[in-house]
Amino acid sequence: MAERRTIRNDLLARVEGEGALLVQIAGGQVADVKLKIYEPPRFFEAFLRGRAFTEAPDITARICGICPVAYQMSSVQAMEQICGVQVDGQLRALRRLLYCGEWIESHALHVFMLHLPDFLGHESAIELATHDRELVSRALELKKVGNELMTVVGGREIHPVNVRVGGFYRAPRKRELTALVDRLERAREVALEAVEITAGLDFPDYEHDYELVCLAEPDEYPIDRGRIVSNRGLDIAVAEYDEHFVEEHVEWSNALHSRVVGRGSYLCGPLARFSLSADRLSPMAREAASEAGLEAEERNPFRSIVVRSVELVYAADEALRLIADYEEPDAPAVPVEPRAGVGYGCTEAPRGILYHRYQLDADGTILDAKIVPPTSQNQKAIEEDLRGVVERSLDVPDDELTLLCEQTIRNYDPCISCATHFLKLEIARS
């Protein structure tokens, strides 16, 4: 087949932010694949300079309306490291609880509203709702529980205002949290149904041998802290991130591409977390994963929708555990005094690891900031998947191939606004 084909989509739908895709096929082979992130760069790192260390959680939260908690958690972790402060006990538990709210909100949105329509052949969640009103109603119910958790712990459902370096401005009362128990139990049921529904979908036959990168903790599923590990033997402290990962500019993207030094692309997010920490899920989430037939090391990116559903079960389950164990702390925060130094933070945003590094002077002024969001880190893996998927589907007509490419991108739940601090689709056959 010597024809030249161009498959393109100039404005990708059902992803967060603005980007495009270009695939060029020449002589029956994939000549080029570019995920073009044209949403303008947002310069957050630059305007953090000169601000007080205490402002970082609220400023960086504004990078994303879907994962603000991730930004807050990575930034406070870095600041607390510089200031020599440990936030443990119930304050740490509250942070994990807040993060569970974000996972529920973000995963429910992606699984049902953004990703599921691809598998069921619907153009949008609205079309899905006209075919299955009950399913979409349950999805909204699930997302709402995430919103409520964010509101009770974070003070607001989007861009929470209650997080500070050292802890919180106000710790919730026990009764405010126990009031959420019934709805969280219902959310966990809906999440279990989501695992069952997604496990029964038809998945494109595609696997890739990824380097999977995520956080790891000895006794818990990674969310709010941990060492950075991979299935290729990486096992480092967060402070060593810059020695093992580099960012580079490519002309077709306003988001920097990341790679592992000496190796190349890697994948972060649900597939990585599940593959490396499935044994640390709660028994209920583990059983749901097992019944869904997930592999010990999941390499089919389309099955990320099942893994996200399992993580929804876990987030609801973990929130219930944290609430049951909650005791109101004596103070909502521990005192923090600024000091000069460099600090590092890394937490598991719903779409993967989010790395922050800050340098402060002695009075706590930010001298330098570096933020590496998960979608930047996944760009290379997304392009490799697109190449792999298109290579297996060269005889598919352009319109179907375009849809398949979009679905491949949505496997990553990309957050383009985060990545530019980052989608359009273009397939060129020539």
Partner 1 sequence: MHLVRDPLPQARDRAILKVIGIGNPWRRDDAAGLAAARRLQEILPADVDVREEAGEPTALIDALDGADAVWLVDAVSSGVEAGTVHRVDASQRALPAELFAPSTHHFGLAEAIELARALGRLPRTAVAFGIEGSTFEAGDGLSPPVDAAVGEVAERVRAEVAAWTGAP
Q: How far is the CB of 416 from partner 1 (least distance, A)?
A: 8
Residue 147 binds to partner 1 (criterion: CB under 8 A): yes
CA–CA gap between residue 213 and residue 346 (Å, rounded) = 12
Q: How far is the CB of 63 from partner 1 (least distance, A)?
A: 11
Q: Six-digit token pair at 83?
A: 């200031």
- Both tokens of 222, joined, read 């990674």
Select the residue interacting with partner 1 from 29, 137, 178, 430 (CB under 8 A).
137
Name the segment binding partner 1 (CB under 8 A); options: 52-60, 132-140, 188-196, 212-220. 132-140
If you ran DSSP here, which 8-state letter would residue 32 be given? E
- Position 18 contacts partner 1 (CB under 8 A): yes
- CB nearer partner 1, residue 151 or residue 359: 151
Which of 375/417 has CB closer to partner 1? 417
Structural contact between residues 227 and 12, judged by C-beta atoms closer than 8 angstroms:
no
* From candidates 26, 85, 120, 140, binder to partner 1 by CB under 8 A: 140
User: Cβ of residue 399: shortest distance to partner 1, in angstroms?
Assistant: 22
Q: Which stretch binds partner 1 (CB under 8 A): 48-56, 134-142, 168-176, 337-345?
A: 134-142
Nearer to partner 1, 134 or 202 (CB): 134
Tell whether residue 17 is a contact of partner 1 (CB under 8 A).
Answer: yes
Which x/- pattern over 42-71 shows residues binding partner 1 (rule: CB under 8 A)?
----------------------xxx-----
Binding to partner 1 by residue 154, rule CB under 8 A?
A: no
Nearer to partner 1, 101 or 345 (CB): 101
Residue 251 burial (CB count, 10 A) = 6
CB of 50 to partner 1, least distance (A): 18
The vertex-141 CA angle with 137 and 145, nearest 5°, equals 170
Q: Is 111 in the site for partner 1 (CB under 8 A)?
A: no
Closest contact distance (angstroms) between CB of 148 and partner 1 is: 11
Question: Within 27-180, where are the H helices?
Answer: 44-48, 56-61, 68-83, 89-108, 116-120, 125-131, 133-154, 174-178
- What CA–CA distance (Å, rounded) separates 423 from 408? 12
CA proximity to 69, closest of 366, 418, 361: 418
- What are the residues facing 36 on neighbouring strands? 20
How many chain residues touch partner 1 (CB under 8 A)? 24
Query: 160 vs 364, which CB is nearer to partner 1?
Result: 160
Helices 133-154 and 304-325 pack at an angle, to 10 degrees, of: 40
Asked if 263 touches partner 1 (CB under 8 A), the answer is no
Determine which residue in the list 5, 7, 9, 16 makes contact with partner 1, applying CB under 8 A: 16
> Is 201 in contact with 73 (CB distance < 8 Å)?
no
| CB-neighbour burial class of residue 313 (10 A; exposed 0-12, middle 13-18, buried 19+) | buried
CB of 49 vs partner 1, minimal distance in Å: 19
Instruction: Kindly state whether residue 92 participates in binding partner 1, applying the rule CB under 8 A.
Output: no
143 touching partner 1, by CB under 8 A: yes
Distance CA 244, CA 225 (A): 18
Q: Which is nearer to partner 1, 18 or 80 (CB)?
A: 18
First to last CA, the chain: 10
- The string of DSSP codes covering 324-369 is HH----SSSB------SEEEEEEEEETTEEEEEEEEE-TT-BEEEE
Interacting residue ranges for partner 1, rule: CB under 8 A = 16-18, 39, 64-66, 124-127, 129-130, 133, 136-137, 140, 143-144, 147, 157-158, 416-417
